[in-house]
Structures are given as C-alpha cells and as structure tokens.
Amino acid sequence: MDMRTRISTALKRAMKEKATDRLSTLRLINAAFKDKDIDVRAAGAEDGVDDAALLAILSRMVKQRQESARAYEEGGRLDLAERERSEVKIIEEFLPQQLSEEKSAAAVDAAVAEVGADSIRDMGKVMAVLKAKYTGQMDFGSVGLMVKDRLSS
C-alpha cells in the first residue's frame, strides 16, 4: 500500500473513531503532501510526488516537531511540548523503522565503497547515496558525523 493510501485510510479511521488529535495531525500530513504536489506540478511535472519524497516530508515534519518540543520545554510550556511529541508519534507510524547504529554504520561503509570515497571532499556523494537508499530510515544529522569520521581517518 502506498503512502497516500495509508494516510487516507488512517484519516478515515480517525474520523470514525472521533480521535480529534490524531485527525488533526493526519490532516496536517495530507496538507503537506498536497502542498508538495502543487509545487511539483507548478514546476512542470505531470505526476505527483513519489513515496520517497513523501517520506522526506514526514521526516522533516518529525524533526520540526522535535525541535518545537525542545523549545517549548525550555520555555516552560510542557503542555505544548507534550502535544508536539504526540504528533511525532503519529507521524512516525508512517515512517519506516529507523536503522540501528550498527546497520547505519554498515550502510555508511557500503556507500563509501560504492562511491569510492577516500577523502572528506567525497562526503556529498556518500550522503547522496545514503539519502537515496535510506530516506526516513536514518537520522542524517548523526549519519553525517559518521561519514565525516569515516572519511577523515
């Protein structure tokens, strides 16, 4: 089942169950997908966005909400921080399972070998390979540090 179908099925179920918090989060996801579709069509593409791009949107939404939750905590607004965290949980249901540290390291090694990277200048190539294969499955902030360490040694 593709990403859009999963989201719309969950949206319908949330409506039937009258789960208002879940429903609002799913509507936000749907709106983000439609915004991206409009941007792509305005650029001249006939088709909508593929699942890889939708996963990137979901990953970005999770990251934004985690940053917001931290900011709310620092500001003493624990109620808002908790709401952001609950949205993160709902969004993460649609993301693939995150790779473990060991699997991420193995993926980095494989990408370095695939590209033939031997210096820090090749970091962009390695990251491009990783993003193409593992969108939504790894945190590219921490993986970027792994790649940097791997290419620096």
pTM, 2 dp: 0.72
What backbone torsions phi and psi does residue 8 show, to the nearest 5 degrees?
-70, -35
What pLDDT, on a 0 to 100 scale, did the predictor assign at position 116? 85
The reply to whether 3-92 and 101-152 are identical in fold is: no
Residue type, 148: K
Does domain 101-152 fall under CATH 3.30.70.870? My reply is no
What pLDDT, on a 0 to 100 scale, did the predictor assign at position 43? 79
Length of the chain: 153
Give the whole-angstrom CA distance, residue 48 versus residue 52.
12
What pLDDT, on a 0 to 100 scale, did the predictor assign at position 118? 83
Q: Which residues of the chain have pLDDT under 50?
A: none
Q: Which residue has the tokens 């969108």?
A: 135
What pLDDT, on a 0 to 100 scale, did the predictor assign at position 64? 94
What pLDDT, on a 0 to 100 scale, did the predictor assign at position 25? 95
Structure tokens at 73: 């905590």
| Contact indicator for 51, 116 with CB cutoff of 8 Å | no
3-92 CATH pick, 2.40.50.140, 3.20.20.80, 1.10.132.20, 1.10.1510.10: 1.10.1510.10
Mapped onto helix, strand or coil, the DSSP state of residue 83 is helix
Every domain of the chain and the residues it spans:
3-92, 101-152
What pLDDT, on a 0 to 100 scale, did the predictor assign at position 8? 93
Q: DSSP letter at 49?
A: -
